[in-house]
């Protein structure tokens, strides 16, 4: 979620603006050249800042990519928070949550591919602080989604023979698998159609609407 800057001083607004310039430049460079293939000089040049000015904002590439991820997560959290407040059924909220997650990754797919390759064995000095920072937020979000799934079970929208934790694991595993397949394929697609197909597949399964013949 983009931070509200209305309460900031002029100096703080200018610094926030320059930070966003650096993060935008770095994100595009990481997508083009990879994390290890991008230098701080590259980022400074694309953001049209002196290298010394950039170091006043960020101490390293690791700090920059952590800030990029933090910005993306904050934006998604903000959108998801709006979904939780919607006056619609639990089913519709889950449908929206899955669409938001899948679409967010697709829109950042060139940057996200870094995590399938370079960042799979990412530097511990980045990974550990990131995990620590998001662990509490992730547990909160998981709890809220679990409550939604339980609410949907009570309303007869989801299966009642499985605990919400199993439904949540299935939802997470399915959406992560779809993301991986999309990123690995490298193909362009009609994202709105792809989102509908993926979410409906999870919600209704692979059987015809009249049910599977398992004989």
Q: Quote the mean pLDDT of the chain.
A: 86
pLDDT in tens, 17-69: 999 999 999 999 998 888 889 999 999 999 999 999 999 999 988 889 888 88
Judged against a pLDDT cut of 50, whether residue 80 lies above it is answered with: yes
Identify the pLDDT of residue 21: 95
Identify the pLDDT of residue 56: 94
With 0-12 / 13-18 / 19 or more C-beta atoms within 10 angstroms meaning exposed / middle / buried, residue 21 is: middle
Give the mean model confidence (pLDDT) for residues 173-201.
91
Give the mean model confidence (pLDDT) for residues 91-120.
86
- 3-state class (DSSP) for residue 64: helix
- Between helix 164-185 and helix 90-107 the angle, nearest 10°, is 30
Identify the pLDDT of residue 114: 77
Which one, of 100, 111, 73, lies nearest residue 195 by Cα? Answer: 100
Which one, of 8, 5, 18, lies nearest residue 57 by Cα? Answer: 18
Identify the pLDDT of residue 1: 39
Domain ranges within the chain, ordered by starting residue: 61-204
Fold that domain 61-204 belongs to in CATH: Tetracycline Repressor; domain 2 (1.10.357)
Residue 124: pLDDT band (50, 70, 90) is very low
Identify the pLDDT of residue 214: 53
Judged against a pLDDT cut of 70, whether residue 4 lies above it is answered with: no
- 3-state class (DSSP) for residue 123: coil
- Is 6 or 153 the better-scoring residue by pLDDT? 153
The C-alpha atoms of residue 178 and residue 87 are separated, in whole angstroms, by 28
Q: Quick count: other Cβ atoms within 10 Å of Cβ 115?
A: 15
Identify the pLDDT of residue 2: 46
Identify the pLDDT of residue 215: 56
Give the mean model confidence (pLDDT) for residues 180-187.
85
């Amino acid at each position: 979620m983009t931070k509200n800057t209305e309460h900031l001083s002029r100096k703080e607004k200018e610094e926030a603006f320059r930070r966003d310039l650096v993060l935008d430049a770095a994100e595009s460079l990481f997508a083009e050249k990879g994390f290890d293939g991008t230098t701080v000089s590259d980022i400074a040049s694309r953001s049209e800042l002196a290298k010394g000015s950039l170091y006043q904002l960020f101490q390293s590439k690791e700090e920059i990519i952590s800030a990029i991820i933090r910005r993306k997560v904050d934006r998604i959290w903000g959108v998801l928070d709006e979904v939780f407040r919607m006056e619609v059924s639990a089913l519709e909220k889950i449908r929206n949550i899955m669409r938001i997650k899948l679409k967010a990754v697709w829109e950042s797919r060139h940057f996200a591919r870094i995590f399938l390759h370079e960042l799979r064995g990412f530097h511990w000095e980045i990974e550990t602080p990131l995990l620590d920072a998001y662990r509490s937020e992730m547990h909160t979000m998981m709890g809220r989604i679990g409550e939604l799934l339980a609410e949907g079970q009570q309303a007869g929208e989801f299966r009642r023979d499985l605990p919400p934790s199993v439904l949540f694991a299935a939802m997470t595993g399915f959406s992560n698998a779809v993301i991986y397949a999309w990123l690995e394929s490298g193909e362009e697609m009609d994202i709105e159609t792809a989102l509908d197909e993926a979410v409906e597949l999870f919600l209704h399964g692979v059987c015809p609407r009249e049910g599977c013949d398992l004989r």
